[in-house]
Amino acid sequence: MLTRTISKFNNPFIISGNTWRNVVGAIAIGMLVFSVPAISEVKAEDQPEHSMHDMHDMQGMEHMEHMDHMDHSMHQQQVSQRGKYSTIGMTYTVPDVKLIDVNGKSVALRDLVNERSPVILNFIFTTCTTICPVMSATFQQVQEQLGSGRKDARIVSISIDPENDTPAKLKAYSEKFKAGPQWTLLTGTLENSLTVQKAFGVFAGEKMNHKPVTFLKAKGADTQWTRIDGLAEATQIITEYDKLNPEQKMH
């Protein structure tokens, strides 16, 4: 019996009940200890990804705000220089496209601005808050100053934001500036709008980059236009118009 007992305790593969419980407990604690860093490691890896994404969004918003501020600053500077303008004779071929008027009617642009009538034309969009309201208010004054001697003149405003400027929105805009029968406001598909902008050399890539430009064409002219760069006032536009159409000038 004694020999057996000694043999039992000397055998390294025989473990008592208390010892076994201690070993199992140690293993469990070890697993828990080693699992915690793994969980922390996963969270540490995830966190930078979210931080970079949030940082990208913040930088994007800051960039948009910065560009918007720059665009408005540029336009506000142009408004402050109202009355300063330059003119140049240009050749433009009006594209054969159809646009949409405020009543939803299809309008062939080439027919609208043909040689039978003198034309005063610009590009605007209804959500513009800087130069477009000034340009439209100027066209309202031009409309009033044309008088009976220039009743065949056609005033045309073309939206550079046709995806937003529906006929209904353009109609409300035209009513705001009291557009009469001589003044036609047009929208249409984005493709056709871009085609017209490029034909007149005013496409700026983004609507907030647009500049104040007015185009004049004499009666009988086809591709010869006068381009006015800057926020010319109504009396100045009428003066330039009369240079092209002296027979209509009121005495």
Alpha carbon distance 128, 158 (integer Å): 13
Domain end residue (candidates: 45, 80, 115) = 80
For residues 109 and 37, membership in a common domain is answered with no
Cβ(199)–Cβ(97) under 8 Å? no
* Cβ within 8 Å of residue 187, ≥6 positions away: 99, 100, 158, 159, 162, 165, 166, 167, 170, 193
Segment among 68-77, 105-114, 182-191, 226-235 with least mean pLDDT: 68-77
Q: What is the pLDDT of residues 195-217, one digit of tens each?
A: 999 999 999 998 989 999 999 99
Mean pLDDT over the full length of the chain: 79
Residue 214 pLDDT: 98
- Residue 165 belongs to domain with CATH number: 3.40.30.10
Sign of the Cα pseudo-torsion (134, 136, 137, 141, in order): positive
Residue 51 pLDDT: 43
What phi and psi, each to the nearest 5 degrees, are found at residue 35? -75, -30
The mean per-residue pLDDT over the stretch 168-179 comes to 98
For residues 47 and 94, membership in a common domain is answered with no
Segment among 3-7, 143-147, 150-154, 180-184 with least mean pLDDT: 3-7
For residues 95 and 196, membership in a common domain is answered with yes
Q: What is the pLDDT of residues 77-116, one digit of tens each?
A: 666 667 799 999 999 999 999 999 999 999 999 999 999 9
Residue 135 pLDDT: 98
For residues 107 and 188, membership in a common domain is answered with yes
Q: What is the pLDDT of residues 38-76, one digit of tens each?
A: 433 434 344 444 444 444 444 444 443 444 444 556 566
For residues 36 and 104, membership in a common domain is answered with no
Q: How many residues does the chain have?
A: 251
Q: What's the total number of domains in the chain? A: 2
Q: What is the pTM of this model?
A: 0.70
Alpha carbon distance 186, 40 (integer Å): 61
Residue 18 pLDDT: 53
For residues 205 and 152, membership in a common domain is answered with yes
Domain end residue (candidates: 46, 63, 80) = 80
Alpha carbon distance 223, 95 (integer Å): 11
Q: How far is CA 100 from the centre of its chain?
A: 20
Residue 9 pLDDT: 39
DSSP 130: S
Higher pLDDT, 216 or 28: 216
Cα R_g (the chain), whole angstroms: 37
Query: pLDDT-based confidence at 131, cuts 50/70/90?
Result: very high
Apex 115 CA angle, 230 and 158, nearest 5: 45
Q: What is the pLDDT of residues 237-247, one digit of tens each?
A: 999 999 999 98
Q: Which domain holds residue 130?
A: 85-248
For residues 89 and 72, membership in a common domain is answered with no
| H-run or E-run covering 46 | helix 17-80
DSSP 247: G
The mean per-residue pLDDT over the stretch 150-172 comes to 97
